[in-house]
Structure formats: structure tokens, C-alpha cells
Structure 1
Amino acid sequence: RATGKVPGIVSIAGHAYGSGKTSDFLQRRNVNLVLRGCVVLTYDYLNTGERNTGPNAKKNMPYGGGNDHFIRRFSFTRRNPSGLEVLDAIRAVDVLIGRHEVDPKRIGFTGESGGGNSTYWVGAIDSRIKLVIPVSSVTTFDYWIRKNRNYDWHQRPFGVRRHVGIGTLLALHAPRPLLVISSKRRTDDHEFPWEEAELSYRWARHVYGLAGAKSAIAHYESPTAHGYQADKRQQLYRWVDRWLQPPRSMGDSDLEVKVEPGERLEVGLKKIVPDNLTHLDIYNRWIRPLPRMTVDEVARSPRPARDWLASRLGWPDERTRPVLETVGNEKGRGWTVTRGRLSTESGIVLPAVVVRTFAGGVSRAGTPVGLVVGRSAKLISRALKECHKVVAVSPRGTGETKPAAGVLNNWGWFVGRPLAGQQAWDIARTAEWVRSGQRKQKGTRVPVKIYADRDHWEAALLAAAMKPELFSGGEIRLGVASWKDLLKKPQDVGPAAVPGLFEKLDVPHLSRMVGSVKVVSP
């Protein structure tokens, strides 16, 4: 056994809202680690214990206030609360390593549930940590996408799945020791099913194998449900004994400890730092200087603004031409209606209706084609007064495809393609289809007018701002004059239709980028 300096371990709970760092199960775990000779640091996880800002934090109303983890206001910026959560963990390691008795080469980190999420994130980022043990927390982002799990905003940065999965986060800890502890099968399927944890583990184990460190990674399935129960603590003690080598080896069972009343372990945070910032305070500081571009700058030189918009929408590099498959036709005196399925992207098919009118039995070809976003009869009727033909299309996640909106929105968040941006893509592709299929004469294209009401204004505005050359007039009725108006409200707002777009652009900026399309303020 090593002598002199001893291992240091950060050991935290998850969403133990009322008790936080004083939770009885956490006390047992941490005191047992201390009895084995480790220095242990714990802190209140987000919105727990003394950081809980709910109206009745100690009882049955844990949510609310400035640290509520449902707050989504941050999404108007490029930043995210995942960074704040990881920063909590990094600062804890800083403090631990700063202690003279702690060996900086023998640092461990563990936590369950939300604390387990912190564990694998900081294990991926901070190379000072030797041993990480995430408990009842490993799954796959793909599972959260499929099951539409997207409410713990501090655990999933916008666009993260475009770059990594949880298996990759685990693998980034290689070749240092990693133990994944999962709950008993079928007991934790809401967010952390064993099978999904196993998928992430297998990918990480493959990487560990490439690094010649397969013996340093394992996945343990517990016979108990969600939490950090005695059997899971046994695994913790074994791995700490093996990899961190504390001064005293005392087996893998819990030693009897005295659980202190919670109030005895509180530090009096509100009295010590009465003006301590909450997450909401931090988000508002992030938002205050935004947007960073002026409307005049955009008007003078729209290219940088359009490049920024493109980076936030995440549009694909699609080369195939949009296609309409006709499924039915109707004909009346002076009009025809074609119903069809419009393909705007590989795997995406949208319901569309094409309405043509004739004056005295003569086609009004040569006048503009109207593109109605949605299938509002009122908007179609209005567009037909100005256009000989109207194409009405319901973007994905609306109309007949509305039941899929939740999963589409969740998928878009994880892969960096927000639903409003996906819908804007559908609108732009529909305009391309209309223009490519309708030529006034050789070498020219029929102009397209866009019409959108307040149900679809954001997607329509984004499409017209991104591709103004596709549209020759029309009208978009805004839902808000500025996102600043939303952010002035004391209650939470979000998530933003396009996360991070407000960093540089607001509604007035986009309204100056739409060319000849008329924008009507609310």
C-alpha cells in the first residue's frame, strides 16, 4: 500500500431534491470511503439540497425557482447548462487536488442518476480523474430520441448526437479505469434501460481494447432498482480498493456508520452567499448582450448573417429533386384539386394539395404560384386571388404528421437540426419543386409567392431568410415582433425554435433578409 498521500474521491447524489449532499445513502457511502482512508468531497447537485430554489424544497415541491432544471431560457444562446454541470464537477476536482493530503494521481469520481451523468461527462473531459463509476445513469442518446425523453436540459447539449454518443463519452476516459453500474433490468427503463447501457458499454470496451486496457472497464448489472444501494456500493469499494489503493482495505461491505441529521451538514449557503447566482441568473447574463449583430449590419451585408443562420439550421446537403406523387384528383367548374405526397428529403414525405383555378374555362397561367404553408382554407382562398395556382403543404410535424412532432423535435435537438429548421427546409424544397416544374417560357421560372400565418411563421420566415431568391412576394404574419419580447417575461420560455440563433439574429434581422416577401408584425 502507498503511504503518505491518500486517494481523493468526489462522490455526489443525483436529483435528491430535498436532501442533496446530506442524503442518508450518500452519507453511508462517503463515510465508508473515509473509513478506508480516502478524502471525500461532496456537493449539492443542481437544484438539490441548499441549491434547491423550489417553493417547498424540503418536502414535496422540489421544482421551481432559479435552479429548476426544467428552465430552457438558455437555449436562446449558444451556451448550455451541461457546461455548468461539468464545471461544478471540475471545480470539485480542483478543490480536492488542492488539498495537501490528496494524491493527485489517485482521484475518483462517482454519482448516481443525474450525478452519474456528471460522472461520465467529467470523466470524458478531465484527464486528472483516474477512476470513474457512473451509477444508474448510462443509456444511449438514441434511446432518449426514440422515446422522446428531453426534459433534463442540463444533461444534453444541443447537437451533441452529431458528434458523440454516451458510449463515446465513456470511451474518452480510456485507458483509465471505468465501471458502469446499471439498475436491474426492467426497473429503470424510463431513461436508463440495461440494454442501452450495454450498447454504450460495448462501444467503450471496444475502444478500451484498442488502447490495450480491456481489464480496466466493466459493466455490472445490479439486482436492485434505480439508486446506489448496498450491492452497488460493494462494487464501488472493490474498484476503489483495486485502482486507487486507499491506506486501509476493509472489504467490500458497508461498515456501520452514524447518519447525521441533514441540517447538521448544511453550510448555510444562503447566509454565506446571499447573492449567489442561480442558473436563471447566469442564463439572463448570457442573454443580456444578444443579439450581437445589428439590423443595419444585416441589411448592408446579409451574407454573414445567412452563414450564421445556415450553421444553426443544420440543413442537409440534399441533391435529389423533390417529387410529388399524385394520390387523387377532383375537378369542378373553374377549378381542379390534386392531392399528393411531396418528398422533400430522403425518408420525408409530406401531404400536399395543388389547387388550380380557371377564369371562364381559361387557365390563368403566367400569374404567380402561391405556396401556402399549412393547409388553411382561409389562406388558400386569399392566395388564389393573386395566383392562378396554389400549392399548400404541411411541413413535417404539422397537419397529418403532427403526431410525430415530439420525436422530430427531440431528434432535431440532439442532432442539431431544430424542428423549425426542418420545416423551413420543407418549405424551401417545396418552392424549388414549384419553380422547377412550372416554366413560363424557356429559361425563366414562374414566380412563387409565400403565404404563412402565425401557426407557421417561424419556419416560413427562416425559409425566406435563408433562400430569398426562391420567393417573389407573398406575406408572412409574425407571431412575435422580437424574441426579446418573450425573454422579458419573468416565467421561463423555450426551448428556442432555433437554439443559439438569437446569439446574432432576432426576428427583425430575419425580416430584413427575406427579399420581396412582406412581413407583417403581430
Structure 2
Amino acid sequence: MKNFPSADLLAGHRNHRGIIDDPLARQLRTQAAEAADRHWHTLQAVAWEETAAQLREHIVAQTGVAFYPQLPLLLKETKRIPLQGLTVAAIRYQTLPDVFATASLYIPSGEGPHPGIVLTHGHWEGARNSVLFQEVAQYIARHGYVCLVPDAWGAGERSTVAGVEEYHGSNLGASLLNIGKTLLGMQVTENIRAVDLLCTLPYVDHDRIGATGASGGGNQAMWLAALDTRVRAVVPVVSVGTFQSYIMNSNCVCELLPGGLTFTEEAGVLGLIAPRALRVINAGEEANPSFMPAEMQRSYRYAQPIFEQLDVGNHIDHQVIAGTHGYNVAMQASMIAWFNRHLKQRPANEPPLPVSAAEIRSAGELATYGPGAREAAVQTTATFCTGEGHRIREALMQVSSIEPEKKKHRLRQLLGLQEAQLRQVNPQLVTDGRQAVQLITASGNVLPIWLKQPANPAAGIAVLVHGQGRDRLPASAVSDITAEGKGILTLDLWGTGSHGSVTATQIDGKLSPHHTLSRSMLWLGQTMMGQWAGELCLAMQWVQSQYPEAAIQLTGFREAGLAALYAAPFTPLPSKITVVDTPVSYLFDTAEGVDHYNMSVHVPGILPWGDIGMLAALANGPITFRNPCTLSGRPLDATALRAHWGFFKTMQRIADRQVDVRFE
């Protein structure tokens, strides 16, 4: 990692004032602050019309957003429920080729054409049919708007098991990264299709389209308006803050723009909505640090001049409304007033009309499908990642050849891998024949290692590393190597053990370990696998400098086995790599075991790049997979192993390299 201040070895300790000091959190937040300052300064200096198109293109490239204006919607309605002043239709429609979304369409009484609103839900139980979003949708419809409420990707009726609630983020949502997609991009793609749908309905005025949502749904509404100029007015609720504040705070993968802080801040995304109408609403009693009014106001302060530069200063507005994180009645009234002003040309100070209270129905009554009746085309994250992964693998096997150096250069980019230059070595105490050492890089990162000297340097040195910290190394592995007379070097990889982050662990809570660290690094254009690979290269180079004649072997357990494979193309060391209980491919296996490995494993675009088979083909020494398994941790039978072996051999042929790879 770059631009690190000097760090303490401890994952978190109390200073003289009793405050927990967390070096990793401090490092990441420092990087985020520096990046945000650069982007805010740039926003003040640019001519916006010359910048907006380039920024949109960059966002589309990073998120994988796709546009399907010619794709048939194939709209199907399964039921209608009459309510006072409106009707609710349960529908499904095609969003991507052979992928369908479930949704509710709230249609006001009267012939129309009515303005249309896309209402995107956040992380509320019940998704589109949660009590809160029924209330908001009915409120919008009773004010004369057609309101389309889709189930977000992986939520509601689109969960892995129909009707069973699940969290669409964490390892499940992050699995999209491996096939070159993002959960954010899938949502935006589908919300653009929601606008496509509204524009085809005869009772909707396609020149008067708006969008709103709360929390993660407010985030969706903001991105939709930024990338689809058909959205004439937007009201994101309890969702706008700063990208800087996302670092080392609690956020979902659906709010992640990989590399986002390398090229923009949230103010830039808000600026893309100009000259159309934007009202931002945040809660006065907000609890999430990322959505605090002060963070929203920072973004607003830098976005407002963009609107003024385009002579539409009255098209941007912000409000802090009393209440907690949600979409309360006062927020709804403010939202309708904004839409009335910009989609119905009503006076700015005209209050919304009183409407009848919401009529709440059960989620089952509003569902598009009954129990067990969901169509296979309503794909889940699991089915989509599985299908896309196999399609990508088949395409890789049709490639005739690659240039290894170009392939390695692209891998560096995917990993965010940077060469670590050793600045200082701090010897520590020697206990039980082991020497503790701190390797301090030129960028200030501290790598803690422990070295047990070999009985005979000619016996060699084994580097042992575990994806959950050195304390998790199997005692049998250590004793076996000791019996052979080899030296042993162990280390705590970044984010693990004594090199960990107490802040991240607390924020992760019940989510997959490294949720906070991996997501924060991705915002900064880095990956945990890239960080770990760089640390392994540095540790092996150092021990080689101490024992020039010793052969070095590297053994990585679980997630650290992947880090060893990522390091393999970039160093002539070690003489042999063994990975234990490590996946043999990034192919999605099953949602049931999706959290078997922690979130350090994900690398955006690694499957289209070449998967683990290509990593092995570019390695500089033999590799042994011991107990190879799937990405969900399942053991592989003989048939599956033969299939993977065939892929590995094909990647070697394409790279014109011969590498000794064994499965045990």
C-alpha cells in the first residue's frame, strides 16, 4: 500500500489517553482524506461540461453498467390488487438478456399520462414489499405518479431461495467482482431498465421521470440519475455522504465503486445530475457515520457550484429533517413537493395534498410469484455468477495464445500490486529460538515476521502463512518442518493477527471477516490479495538476503494460499509453493458455503483475466494443491479435479509455459 504513515504492530492498543489506536484504520483513512482533497480541489477548477462525459465513461467502466435499449422487456403481470385511489400490479420484466426482475407497479386512478417514479428500496426486510416501501409507494401514487418499485438485485423475491430473506452483500454480492461485475453496476443496469419500462407504459409521460429511495435505495437513485439523463428529478434519502466517509465505516458492497476514490468523490456524482433537479435529504438523528448530515453537506458544498456553473443553481437543494435513518412522513412530503415542482411545474411553496393512510398488505399477497412458482429466468446472484463463470471459462479455453508479460502487467493492475521497498529492519526479542522482526517499507507499512533459524541452512527455510493469522497455522505443519531441520518464517498478513484492525473487526460484526478492510481497499484501487502478495514477496526477499544459499519453500493455508499464487508470477522465489485447503478456481460454486472464505479473496475481473489456472501457468516454480476445493470450500471429486486439471494445462499451452502443478 502507498502513502502509509508509520504503523504500530498491534491491531489496536490504548494510548496514554485510553483511546484505542488502530494503525490500519488510520492508514486507510489518511489515504481516503488525501484522495478526497485532491478530487474536491479538481471539482472547483474544471469546466464541468468537458468533464462530465469522461467521468460517466469511467464510472460505467468501473461498475460494469450495461445499457440494453433494444432488449425486449417481456413484461408479465401476475396479479392486480385494488387499493383506495390506486392499483398495485405484481410484475416481472427482462433487465438483462435472459434475466428477469420482480417488481410492483403502483398505478394511480385516472387516465393519465402520469409522471413516473422509480422507487428503490434499501436494506429493509421484505425488500420492495416491506412496510416502509409500501407506505412510500402508495404515498407517491396517491399524489398522481406511477411508481415502479423493483426488487433490487439479490433481494426480495430474487434471493437464493425464493421467499427466504438473505443479505445480498458480503461475500455473496462480492462474488460478482470475480466475474468482472459489481453489485452496484448490476443495480444501476436494472434501474435503467426500470426507466425503459416506465417509458413504454401508455399511462406514463416519459418526459417526466423521477427517482427516489432511502439508504442503499437512495444510493441507487443517485447513481441512476447520474447515468440516465431521462431522470428529470431525483431525491436520494439518508444515503448521501462522502466517499471518504465510506472508508472504515459500515457500508454494503452494493454501495461500492471499485477504485472510486482514485478518480472522483461523491460530489462529482451529484454534479453529473446537473442540470436536472436534485434534492438531498438526510436525517437529523442519523447513526451511520457515512450518512451524517455533515458528510452530506461536504458533498453538497462542492456539487452546488457545478449547478451554478450551468445556470441552474435552483435545481439543487438539501435538507436535514428530524428523525432517524429511514423515510419518515416529513421526508416523504419534502420528496413529493420536489417532484411536484420539477415534474408537474407546481409552485415551489405549494404543500402536498393530504392523502389517505397506506393500506399495508402482506409480502406474500403482493408477491409476483406464489410459493415454489418462481421462474428460473428470475436469476439470483448464485445462478448468474455460476452461468457467467462457466461461460467465461469456456471463452478462455478458446484463446490461442497470450503474451505473459502483458498478462502479468494486467494482473498487477487488477491487484493494485505495488513493489514494496524495504526501508528499515527492526529486530525484536528472541524467544524459544525464534526472532521477531519488523520489516518497515519505504511507504511506512510494518510487516511483522518471526524467524526460527534453520539447524542447517542447506536444509532450507519454509515460509508458512495462514489467511486468518499465524496463530491458526496447524501445529503439525510446524513440527514436520522442524523435524526436517528447516528454518521457519511465519508472518501475520495485513489485516490478520497482530497486523489486524480492531476497528474493522467491530464493524464487520456478523458479516464475513475482512468485509470492512477489503471494501475500503477496493475504494482506494487496491485489494487485500495484492497487499498480501506484496508482503509475501518482501518477506521471501528478506529471508533470502539473510540466507543466500538456502532454498525457500512457501506454504499458504486457506486464503493465504491464494496470496501465494498471486505472488508466484512476480518473484523467482520460492523454489516450491504448496497451497492447502485453497480454492482451485474462482468459479462460483454454491451460495450455501459462500462465506467459507473471508472477503480477502475477491479480485475484480480475475475470472476473465484467466482464473487460478493462469496464475499457475505464470508461476516461476512448481505448485502443489493439497486438499484443493471449490470457492465455497467443498472438496472436489475425481471428475471435477480432472476438469480443472484440463483447464490448468490449457492455460499453460496458451502461455507457452510448462509448470509442474499437482493436485493432492
TM-score category of the 2 structures, normalised to the smaller one: 0.7 to 0.9
Q: Deviations over 1:147-179 (max 9, x none)?
A: 2x25x3333244444344433322221232211
3-state secondary structure, aligned to 2:244? helix
CA–CA separation in structure 2 for the residues paired with 1:95 and 1:399: 50
CA–CA separation in structure 1 for the residues paired with 2:579 and 2:154: 39
CA–CA separation in structure 2 for the residues paired with 1:54 and 1:488: 12
* Cα RMSD after superposing both structures: 3.8
The residue type equivalent to 1:20 in the other structure is: R
Partner of residue 352 from structure 1, selected from 445, 449, 455: 449
CA–CA separation in structure 2 for the residues paired with 1:261 and 1:107: 26
8 Å CA contact retained: 1:372, 1:383 = no
Q: Deviations over 1:247-297 (max 9, x none)?
A: 799932451226345369847446997333222322222122233434997
Structure 2 CA distance for partners of 1:429 and 1:93, relative to 1, 3 Å: same
Unaligned runs of 5+ in 1: 441-445
Shift of 1:349: 0.3
Q: Which residue of 2 aligns with 1:414?
A: 523
Shift of 1:86: 1.1
- Which has the larger displacement, 273-282 or 420-429? 273-282
3-state secondary structure, aligned to 2:208? strand
Task: Report whether the alignment pairs 1:450 with 2:564.
Answer: no
8 Å CA contact retained: 2:455, 2:487 = no
CA–CA separation in structure 2 for the residues paired with 1:357 and 1:491: 39
Q: Which residue of 2 aligns with 1:184?
A: 284
CA–CA separation in structure 2 for the residues paired with 1:402 and 1:112: 33
Q: Deviations over 1:468-511 (max 9, x none)?
A: 42x15134233235226862675435654434312343334323
Partner of residue 142 from structure 1, selected from 244, 250, 270: 244
Partner of residue 203 from structure 1, selected from 295, 302, 306: 302
Shift of 1:345: 5.5
- Which has the larger displacement, 449-458 or 400-409? 400-409
8 Å CA contact retained: 1:105, 1:128 = yes
3-state secondary structure, aligned to 2:552? strand
TM-score under structure 1 length normalisation:
0.79
8 Å CA contact retained: 1:468, 1:513 = no
Rg bigger for which structure? Answer: 1
Partner of residue 496 from structure 2, selected from 398, 404, 414: 398
Task: Report whether the alignment pairs 1:514 with 2:622.
Answer: no
3-state secondary structure, aligned to 1:111? strand
Partner of residue 77 from structure 1, selected from 169, 172, 179: 179
CA–CA separation in structure 2 for the residues paired with 1:458 and 1:207: 45
8 Å CA contact retained: 1:368, 1:386 = no
The residue type equivalent to 1:502 in the other structure is: L
Structure 2 CA distance for partners of 1:258 and 1:339, relative to 1, 3 Å: closer
- Residue pairs, 1:135-284, within 5 angstroms: 135-147=237-249, 149-150=250-251, 152-185=252-285, 187-189=286-288, 192-246=291-345, 251-257=350-356, 259-260=358-359, 262=361, 266=366, 268-269=368-369, 274-280=375-381, 281-284=383-386
Structure 2 CA distance for partners of 1:413 and 1:24, relative to 1, 3 Å: same
The residue type equivalent to 1:283 in the other structure is: C
Partner of residue 221 from structure 2, selected from 119, 127, 139: 119
3-state secondary structure, aligned to 2:281? strand
- Residue pairs, 1:279-290, within 5 angstroms: 279-280=380-381, 281-290=383-392
8 Å CA contact retained: 1:324, 1:341 = yes
3-state secondary structure, aligned to 1:328? strand
- Which has the larger displacement, 482-491 or 497-506? 482-491
The residue type equivalent to 1:506 in the other structure is: D
Shift of 1:425: 0.7
Q: Which residue of 2 aligns with 1:41?
A: 148
Q: Which residue of 1 aligns with 2:188?
A: 86
Task: Report whether the alignment pairs 1:433 with 2:542.
Answer: yes
Partner of residue 128 from structure 2, selected from 14, 17, 20: 20
Query: How many aligned positions are there?
Result: 488
The residue type equivalent to 2:523 in the other structure is: F
CA–CA separation in structure 2 for the residues paired with 1:51 and 1:297: 38
Structure 2 CA distance for partners of 1:88 and 1:250, relative to 1, 3 Å: farther
CA–CA separation in structure 2 for the residues paired with 1:416 and 1:448: 34
8 Å CA contact retained: 1:427, 1:460 = yes
Task: Report whether the alignment pairs 1:461 with 2:565.
Answer: yes
The residue type equivalent to 1:63 in the other structure is: E
3-state secondary structure, aligned to 2:219? helix
CA–CA separation in structure 2 for the residues paired with 1:48 and 1:475: 41
Q: Which residue of 2 aligns with 1:29?
A: 139
Q: Which residue of 1 aligns with 2:396?
A: 293
- Which has the larger displacement, 250-259 or 112-121? 250-259
TM-score under structure 2 length normalisation:
0.64
3-state secondary structure, aligned to 2:557? coil
Shift of 1:70: 6.8
3-state secondary structure, aligned to 2:172? coil
